[in-house]
Structure 1
Amino acid sequence: MSRLPVADRGAVHRALRDLLGRHRRAVLGVLALHSAAAVAGLAPPWLLGRIVDRVTGGAGVATVDRLALAIGGAVLVQAVLSRYAQYAGHRFGERAVAELREDFVHRTLELPVSVVERAGSGELATRSSVDVSTVGTTVRDVVPTMVIASVQLALLFGAVFLLHPLLGLAALAGLPSIGAATRWYLRRASPAYLAEGAAAAALTETLTSTAEGARTVEAFRLADERIARGTTRIARLWAARRATLGLRTVFFSVVEASYPLPVAAALLVGGYLLARGDVSLGAVVAAALYLQQAIEPLDRLLLWTEQAQRGFASFARVLGVGLVPPEAPSTARTPRDERLVVRGARFSYGAGHDVLHGIDLEVRPGERLAVVGPSGAGKSTLARLLAGIDAPRQGVVSIGGCPVTDLDPAERRRRIALVTQEHHVFIGSVRDNLAFAAPDATDEQMRSALRTVGADWYAGLPDGLDTPLGDGARQLGAAEAQQLALARLVLADPHTLILDEATAALDPTTARRTERALAAVLTGRTVIAIAHRLNTAHDADRVAVLSDGRITEIGSHHDLVRADGAYAALWRSWHP
């Protein structure tokens, strides 16, 4: 089951109409060119029928040559018009796809951090790659092809009706079986393709999380469990794809069997009308050729109907990202100071049990507070509430008298920064990575930020700030990536820093070096440290002990050691 919403059919149709409406002139131009090409394509069968009638009437070679030249001219005109129609269609398609991609990126960047984390990397990765690509194919190729094929079919069947109404009725012989198969298919295709997309996202999530956590998998000997989980997800995707394949097998088999029916019916009816003298032999030949010519656009129409179902299902998943309410700017008043206050905060993930139970806490501006406690006590959850990533189920978390989650997102991030042990290095130059925090920062400010956090490795870069980082370029180690993230913090210049075990993943030597660099960033700021190593708590102004989602002790390091409670026990276990 997807953890991000999926748009309904009405929303997909409205979005498609809006997209086509924004490019109305281009769409009309493409349709006009293809319609003209289709009209030109009507001439050869009619002219061939004329040749048959003239030959049976005793016409000479010169007459046949003139009609043959006319057929050649009509084919040339159709080819030229089709070429420019396809060119115009692809130009429209590429512009529309570019808009869709930009809109998707914009919607994704507006998602609240909590939604992104709970959705999982596989879900967003699938929607941003497979689904967006499928929608692009649908908009660029499928929709124009289906519209154009429909126009061609209307003209071809109209031409048969003009030859004789009974021939036109005979031409409809295959439509009942095709229509029944199409209705049967469409009722089942959309949910089947949505299920396939969800299964693909689940498999991507499993593969991504396993690859990213490969060291953890190896350390805890979880390889068999991850293989079993991956096998289960592969089996679900295989079953989902077998289901859609089964639908296609039935659909295309019935459609292919229906193609000869109109031609056979037209020849039978044409023979009867010819015997009565109601039509000429050339008219019967032209009708048969028109119906034979109709197989190609009908085939394209039905073939792309299957692709359209994929496209609409993917479009629904892409549009679903926009159904998540963004972090909209608030009308709340500006905080009067930087005091963080938590009153009666309770929090649970989804419909589960509370992991925080009535937390009361006040952090003064410029104070250093360490939060300690056993694993699972709720320390990281409290950090997320303080940073405004999540809102408490009950109670309030405020800064300067304003609820943190009511602040304008940009204002909140300017005041409060959450630093975890995960530091991402974006593909791009060093400058690109630093500019995320301060787009207007000068080169000297960026260099100063790197010097502040002790990023000595910067001096050895071949191209300085323009040195590319990431896959296929300069790779940064864990400590270097963390220093780059800290340099971003220096440039962002928040007043309050929340450190969620920011050095826990590093070896002790690297951690101490990084902590010294971090000390330069912390000067003059309010600091709330989720302490993994108790030396952090020793250096703090106050220590809050969290246990089972409750603050059980709070005070200075020395006061808590003298109190001989839970913190004193932790300290003795750390320093036996």
Structure 2
Amino acid sequence: MSASRAPSVLAPARATLIGCGVLTAVSALAGMAPLIAVVEISRRLLHGDTDVWPIIVVALAALAVKQLGTFGAGVLTHLADIRVSFRIRRELLGKLRRLPLGWFTDRNSGVVKKTVEDDVAALHQLIAHSVVEVTAAAVPVVVAIGYLFAVDWRMALISLVPLVAGLVVYQRAMAGAGTKYPEFMTWLTRLSGAAVEFVNGIGVVKAFGTPGVASRRFQEVSRNFARFFLDWAKATTRASVISEILLSPPSVLVVMVGAGGALTAAGWLPLTSFLAFLVFGTVTTAGLMTVMMSIHPLVTALSVARGIGEVLAAPELPVPASPIVPDPDAPGPVVRMRGVCFAYGDTVALDGVDLDLERGTVTALTGPSGSGKSTLARLLPRFDDPQRGSVELYGSDLRDLDPAELYRHVAFVFQDAALLRMSIRDNIRLARPDACDADVRAAAAQAQILDRLDALPRGLDSVAGEDAELSGGERQRVCIARAILADRPVLVLDEATASADPENEARIQDALSEVARGRTVLVIAHRLSTIRGADQIVVLDEGRVAERGRHEELLARQGLYTRLWEHDQRARQDAAERLEAGR
């Protein structure tokens, strides 16, 4: 995404920020008046002129202007921050509603949370502080240098020596920061995602005694982030320290006192001018240091704004202006896929797939890892659109349907069994908010999970993630209960038992038998024993249909399915032997 997205995100605050920048500049100019007053009062007193009250009055008035201007600018920028943050959050929430579901499955919840909460909050620094702070620090630097040149050009040039030296060293320290800051933000996003993944899964892995497995990815991301940050810090720390020493007020005072004292002793610099350089010399370095320290949060905030802009610019699935209402009684297959092609960048996932799902049948997808099973399953609930070809429901192209209408006919249970932080009852009722408690309990019973839920501290009123710690298989059965309650005629099940333990696999299979009864089902499973009874098994390989038929027919062909079946049986036997040996 181009850098122009950052200004577009901040566009509503542009006029306020410009106005506050001007107000801050005026305040900073007024804030210089007391310093100039000190020099001018000293000059008059040294010449025997005691009429200094007019200068004092002007300095006090200017100081009042500075305080009022700074306060006013701060109030206005904070009000602008509140307005912009509210607008961006509203736009983000609206955008998230319109984004294809595939956008979410391609990202973990930590990334989405960081964008909606952390990144919007990070804009506070940019809008409420950066403009006024940088302006308030930069204006005195410019004014001080101009004033010193007006007093004595020789001393002004000498005063610039540490400034120039410090800036040169600092520029070397920051070389490459333009590419490092985006990389830094990327690592923070990865770290946030890994942390959320670890926290969400810790309860389950503790129950199975393998917390090291869950923490491995988080530890790996943490180590890689630490390695990146340490390498960056090593490359910049020495130069940064040197630049800070050169720009520190004591260093500048040493130069000023040495050079100014020599010029004053030689009679080339009046004492009052020497005083002016002592007063204003430290102003330039202090202001410059503030500007330099503001660069990091400023660049970080701009990077965050660009990230928010990327989300707001993400392509949405088109919604038809005049959507079609599908006819469930239309003749032909319930679902028809023709010439379906899909790619992730240059990687082809599906290449000309044809598939029919007949009414009331179970169609199982299988194949090697990366063969396109999950990608194909995601097209039916329209997580994505095929790049070529079509997916039809009751003879109507999904692209001609309103998404809400599509989900009145299609339900899905995917591998990541997501439960919201609300009661288990309300999690199941998401499918049908008006469902009564009896229907919720009946759905849970059909999903083979009611006995487990009744055993929770508050039964179905227990809150997921608080007093309802469920294993992956148990969460999956809650999601199956949700699908049962939804009572949609078409159901998509993606790897529903891929990560379940044997006991949960059996319970899940019983639940799936209930939910599949009388429905048209598309199911993907790596454990081929779970799909032996499917009406149709479709074997994918490198994005193409390699074989299709019933279990016995495919075994008789001695093809890819047979090899997958034999591998599955060996794996199950090995697992059973390991389990027996561990007893």
TM-score, normalised relative to structure 1: 0.74
Q: Does 1:544 align with 2:544?
A: no
Match of 1:321 among 298, 311, 314: 311
Tell me: CA distance 1:265–1:40, structure 2 relative to 1, closer, same or farther (3 Å): farther
Match of 1:342 among 337, 359, 367: 337
Q: How many residues align?
A: 553
Q: Which residue of 2 aligns with 1:452?
A: 443
Alpha-carbon shift at residue 420 of structure 1 (Å): 2.0
- Kept in 2: contact 1:450–1:483 (CA 8 A): no
Q: Which residue of 1 aligns with 2:137?
A: 149
Q: Output one character per residue of 1:310-360: Cα deviation in whole Å (capped at 9) or x when no partner.
A: 3333433343333431223245852644521122335555434x5655432
Alpha-carbon shift at residue 500 of structure 1 (Å): 1.9
- Kept in 1: contact 2:423–2:462 (CA 8 A): yes
Q: Which residue of 2 aligns with 1:235?
A: 227
Q: Which residue of 2 aligns with 1:301?
A: 291
Query: Matched residues in 1 for 2:523 and 2:533: separation?
Result: 11
- Kept in 2: contact 1:453–1:521 (CA 8 A): no
Q: Output one character per residue of 1:377-434: Cα deviation in whole Å (capped at 9) or x when no partner.
A: 6443432343333455654333234444665544444433331232112234447645
Query: Matched residues in 2 for 1:553 and 1:26: separation?
Result: 64
Q: Which residue of 2 aligns with 1:468?
A: 463
Q: Which residue of 1 aligns with 2:33?
A: 43
Q: Which residue of 1 aligns with 2:6?
A: 12
- Kept in 2: contact 1:192–1:244 (CA 8 A): no
Query: Matched residues in 1 for 2:429 and 2:253: separation?
Result: 64
- Kept in 1: contact 2:170–2:243 (CA 8 A): yes
Query: Matched residues in 2 for 1:176 and 1:335: separation?
Result: 71
Q: Which residue of 1 aligns with 2:580?
A: none
Q: 1:58-457 maps to which residues of 2 (within 5 A)?
A: 58=48, 78-79=66-67, 82-83=70-71, 85-104=73-92, 106-107=94-95, 110-118=98-106, 134-157=122-145, 177=165, 188-202=176-190, 231=223, 234-243=226-235, 245=237, 248-249=240-241, 252=244, 255-256=247-248, 259=252, 267=260, 282=272, 285-286=275-276, 288-331=278-321, 334=324, 336-337=326-327, 339-347=334-342, 349-352=344-347, 356=350, 358-372=352-366, 378-392=372-386, 394-404=388-398, 407-430=401-424, 433=427, 437=431, 441-442=433-434, 444-445=435-436, 448-454=439-445, 456=450
Match of 1:52 among 21, 42, 46: 42
Tell me: CA distance 1:224–1:484, structure 2 relative to 1, closer, same or farther (3 Å): closer
Query: Matched residues in 1 for 2:370 and 2:153: separation?
Result: 79
Alpha-carbon shift at residue 479 of structure 1 (Å): 4.8
Alpha-carbon shift at residue 304 of structure 1 (Å): 0.7
Tell me: CA distance 1:12–1:419, structure 2 relative to 1, closer, same or farther (3 Å): same
Match of 1:529 among 496, 513, 523: 523
Query: Matched residues in 2 for 1:259 and 1:36: separation?
Result: 27
Deviates more, 1:223-232 or 1:86-95: 223-232
Q: Output one character per residue of 1:514-540: Cα deviation in whole Å (capped at 9) or x when no partner.
A: 444445544553212225566754554
Query: Matched residues in 1 for 2:62 and 2:88: separation?
Result: 38
Alpha-carbon shift at residue 496 of structure 1 (Å): 1.5
TM-score, normalised relative to structure 2: 0.73
Alpha-carbon shift at residue 44 of structure 1 (Å): 1.9
Alpha-carbon shift at residue 361 of structure 1 (Å): 1.9
Alpha-carbon shift at residue 191 of structure 1 (Å): 1.0
Query: Matched residues in 2 for 1:91 and 1:331: separation?
Result: 38
Alpha-carbon shift at residue 293 of structure 1 (Å): 3.1
Q: Which residue of 2 aligns with 1:3?
A: none
Query: Matched residues in 1 for 2:426 and 2:139: separation?
Result: 50
Query: Matched residues in 1 for 2:167 and 2:557: separation?
Result: 81
Query: Matched residues in 1 for 2:457 and 2:198: separation?
Result: 34
Query: Matched residues in 2 for 1:321 and 1:203: separation?
Result: 19
- Kept in 2: contact 1:416–1:495 (CA 8 A): yes
Structure 2 unaligned segments of length 5 or more: list them.
329-333, 574-583
Q: Output one character per residue of 1:227-246: Cα deviation in whole Å (capped at 9) or x when no partner.
A: 77865564344324434546
- Kept in 2: contact 1:370–1:543 (CA 8 A): yes
Tell me: CA distance 1:373–1:260, structure 2 relative to 1, closer, same or farther (3 Å): same
Q: What amino acid is the match of 2:362? A: R
Query: Matched residues in 1 for 2:211 and 2:139: separation?
Result: 63
- Kept in 1: contact 2:17–2:127 (CA 8 A): no
Deviates more, 1:254-263 or 1:89-98: 254-263
Q: Which residue of 1 aligns with 2:581?
A: none
Query: Matched residues in 1 for 2:261 and 2:399: separation?
Result: 75
Q: Output one character per residue of 1:462-485: Cα deviation in whole Å (capped at 9) or x when no partner.
A: 778765331x44323445423432
2:316 partner SS: coil
2:176 partner SS: helix
